[in-house]
Amino acid sequence: MSDGGVRDIAAILGMLPHRFPMLMVDRVAELVPGERIRALKAVTVNEPYFPGHFPGRPIMPGVLIVEALAQAAGVLAIESLGLKGSGRLVYFLAIEQAKFRRPVEPGCLLELEVNFLQRRGNVCRFTGAARRDGEVAAEARFTAMVGDPPAAAA
């Protein structure tokens, strides 16, 4: 892949169903299908959760850092399994061994590094780390499932 796997926000919006305020991946800096992805999330003071988490000391919730890792894994899975344009979704199934090491504050550029561990049928396993300023802020192992979108309500 001559572009090194770089994907801009338009390409990401074409792969993930997430939209503001739940889209947690701004750019893909590197992608090796079937192996790994390095994506970026620019954490700004305008994030909708900061006024309540925490007033006077804004910190990105750990669960949203893990969500960002899962979304990066979703992009990796879609690219690796040839699912782009198929309408299939990557559903988050499990989180294991999550650890939170450093706070993520407004102004941070969060680097999301995810490795593809295993695929069995429609279930994929990943490991990931979110870094800020080169230091691990959070890490986890997680599992996802490729499936069809839910049926529209009648």
Closest C-alpha among 102, 99, 144 to residue 121 = 144
Closest C-alpha among 5, 67, 66, 8 to residue 35 = 5
Vertex 30 angle, CA 27 and 31, to 5°: 105
Catalytic residue among 53, 102, 119, 141: 53
18 is catalytic: no
CA distance 151 to 154: 9
Residues acting as catalytic residues? 53
